[in-house]
Amino acid sequence: MGTTMLLDAASMYFRAFYGVPQETMRAPDGTPVNAVRGLLDMIATLLRARHPDRLFACMDATWRPAFRVQAIPSYKTHRANPDGSEQIPDGLTVQLPVIVAVLDAAGIAMKWADGYEADDIIGTLAAQATEPVEVVTGDRDLFQLVDDARGVRVAYIGRGVARLELVDEADVTRRYQIPGRSYAAFAALRGDPSDGLPGVPGVGEKTAAALVRAFGSVEAMLAAIDAGHGGFPPGSRAKLVAARPYLEASLPVVRVATDAPVKLSGGELPSVPPDGAKVAALDERWGLGSSLGRALSALAAAP
């Protein structure tokens, strides 16, 4: 059975933008194309190294979904402009429509849905899959999707695509000393400043891991408190009681949605671009050169 690869496209093009100097990659008119070319190079490397049978680029249609903001108003507020839009460097903003146009012309399937982040698209497609799945991301939040029984792994590119790490349940346990499928509960307890999630005051990684090992989920912790059960690390029960409103609100924020209105259909790798003329025009307009050539060659060589 072949593998389906789900790309966390936003994670990848942000990484490309900051990892490749703008000055070295510009279109003929001077527009930066470092994120476009860097993403294409990443895709080419992944295709040649991992040989997936299907490929989907999962996109952010809504970077700060209403259901998460309603639950925790601080969600990503530090990354928002006064008008509510995401703070994105101008040099990257101009490249986003180019990325969509190039992926479309090359025949790489894209998935998104209004009201959902790319993480939710990935979670939904992974839940629908009956074949092995590799989730390509630099975001550890997606470790919660790892599921050995269903063949779902994370291809973690935190140190770069060339140093990709395949994360399974044993690896999650090794990294955080928690059961392999319990990362979401661990993240809720510990918090995540990069997303504006405060966590439980006074609960660091070690206590969070101990709580997750003891109870498995936030719901089980709250149920144990209500029932008067023991088993809490010293001093942690009172902290959880005080933080209960946050914990209850955090669950739909931390957990990746699996009900986005997308279907795991298509995604086959094209041996030739479906619109060769459009590809050529985009190449000429934006000067994509060897990066586009490597991506198209990797697609053509795929199973």
Domain boundaries, the chain: 4-177+257-297, 183-254
Residue 181's Cβ-count burial label (10 Å; 0-12, 13-18, 19+) is buried
Cα gap 206→182, rounded to integer Å: 14
CB 158 within 8 A of CB 138: yes
Whether the CA torsion 272, 273, 274, 279 is positive or negative: it is negative
- Matching residue, tokens 């639950």: 71
Domain 4-177+257-297 has what CATH class? alpha beta
Type of residue numbered 221: M
Model confidence, pTM:
0.95
| Fold (topology level) of 183-254 | DNA polymerase; domain 1 (1.10.150)
pLDDT in tens, the chain (303 residues): 689 999 999 999 999 999 988 888 999 999 999 999 999 999 999 999 999 999 999 999 999 999 999 999 999 998 999 988 899 999 999 999 999 999 999 999 999 999 999 999 999 999 999 999 999 999 999 999 999 999 999 999 999 999 999 999 999 999 999 999 999 999 999 998 888 889 999 999 999 999 999 999 999 999 999 999 999 999 999 999 999 999 999 988 999 999 999 999 999 999 999 989 999 999 999 999 899 999 999 999 877
Spatial distance between the Cα atoms of 163 and 145, rounded to a whole number of angstroms: 21
| HSE-up of residue 105 (Cα within 13 Å, Cβ side) | 19
